[in-house]
Amino acid sequence: MKKPYIFVTRKCSEYQLKPLYDIADVDMWPEEEVPCPRELLIEKAKKADALLTMLSDSIDQEILDLATNLKVVANLAVGFDNIDIKYANEKEIVVCNTPDILTDTTADLTFGLVLSVARRLMEAADYVKNNQWKSWGPLLLAGHDVHHKTIGIVGMGKIGQAVAKRAIGFEMNILYHNRTRNHEAEEMVGASYCSLDQLLKESDFVVCLTPLTNETKQLFNMKSFKIMKKTAIFINASRGAVVNEDDLYQALINKEIAGAGLDVFTQEPIQADHPLVGLHNVVALPHIGSASMETRFSMMHLCASNITAVLTGNKPLTKVELK
């Protein structure tokens, strides 16, 4: 019997994908940092039984229509806004993501951004590296405290809750806003639910962790930044398009807010000459929320398990269900 054909859109660990090699012909794009060109992805998708995709691959109607053998798409991310899930479901193509296993890693990075911007860690590290440090000064690179401040988490899912857990260690007051109340978060981490406007008004750190949907697109715009405290720091570890980046830039240069920590951008990769990246009070990272070796290997393994399950007629472990 002909073996199924699987296309992996980026170089991944063959060891983690071993279950796939046992049951199928596996074809992998050999580059780690250069994406598979769209035309090639289309060619591969046309004959694929399964695709292991990255968040940078757009799996849209065009690809789903051409991929007539496709049974499963396993996305190496918890977010799945790069895939037309509704259309895939109509075509009975299973879509899987990698929830849970990246929760703590992404929360660590998010809290790292809070600390980096508040305590000016990147500026301070550059100061030493650039040989600017001549003497100790009372207000040299003085930032803002994190402990005992108010953190407002927009999008209280699992990662939001894990960020809140870290905030408890810093004895912070925790506010959150979510589409629906998260009673578990209220009980487990003492987070208080409030309206988005109240959260924006009262928080010292506004942390965006909401998924990108039609409802959350450009949720953060000039109106939101104007509501925030002039001393507030904005953190985004979800998706860039949740923010109007021009408004964020204006808010930062007009001192409507004090700083921003960004792991995600509307256009990725963002270029070094982008106005936001040049600001001294912005920490910009290349979408590394879940990028620890342990977690990325677990994510690869989970993608492989999901594909194996679907191709062998079993239930996938983490199928995306549209709510």
Contact residue for ligand DGY among 16, 53, 106, 308 (CB under 6 A): 106
Q: Which is nearer to ligand DGY, 104 or 256 (CB)?
A: 104
Contact residue for ligand DGY among 85, 88, 102, 260 (CB under 6 A): 102
Neighbours of 300 (CB within 10 A): 23
Please count the CA atoms within 13 angstroms of the CA of 238 that sit on its side-chain side: 28
Q: Which is nearer to ligand DGY, 103 or 203 (CB)?
A: 103
Residues 73-92 that bind ligand DGY (CB under 6 A): 77-79
Supply the minimum distance, in Å, between the C-beta of residue 301 and ligand DGY. Answer: 15
The one catalytic residue among 10, 166, 287, 301: 287
| Catalytic residue check, 187 | no
Instruction: At 184, give phi and psi (nearest 5°).
Output: -60, -45
Closest CA to 209 of 51, 78, 318, 40: 78
What is each CA distance from 321 to 111, 198, 291, in whole angstroms?
28, 31, 25
Q: Which is nearer to ligand DGY, 183 or 323 (CB)?
A: 323
Residues 276-305 that bind ligand DGY (CB under 6 A): 287, 289-290
Q: For residue 99, state whether it binds ligand DGY (rule: CB under 6 A).
A: no
Q: For residue 155, state whether it binds ligand DGY (rule: CB under 6 A).
A: no
Instruction: At 234, give phi and psi (nearest 5°).
Output: -105, 130
Q: Which is nearer to ligand DGY, 106 or 305 (CB)?
A: 106
Q: For residue 103, state whether it binds ligand DGY (rule: CB under 6 A).
A: no
Measured distance CA(262)–CA(277) in Å, rounded: 9
What is each CA distance from 132 to 127, 129, 141, 155, 307, in whole angstroms?
5, 8, 12, 40, 52
Pairing of strands 150-154, 205-208: parallel
Size of the site for ligand DGY (CB under 6 A): 9
| Catalytic residue check, 177 | no
Residues 162-221 that bind ligand DGY (CB under 6 A): none
Closest CA to 159 of 79, 42, 227, 46: 79
Residue whose token pair is 């720091």:
233
| Catalytic residue check, 268 | yes
Q: Bridge-partner residues for 121, per DSSP?
A: none
Q: Which is nearer to ligand DGY, 79 or 143 (CB)?
A: 79
Supply the minimum distance, in Å, between the C-beta of residue 144 and ligand DGY. Answer: 26
The one catalytic residue among 120, 177, 239, 301: 239
Residues 36-55 that bind ligand DGY (CB under 6 A): 55
| Chain residue at closest Cβ approach to ligand DGY | 289
Measured distance CA(120)–CA(259) in Å, rounded: 10
Give catalytic residues, as residue numbers.
239, 268, 287
Binding site for ligand DGY (CB under 6 A): 55, 77-79, 102, 106, 287, 289-290
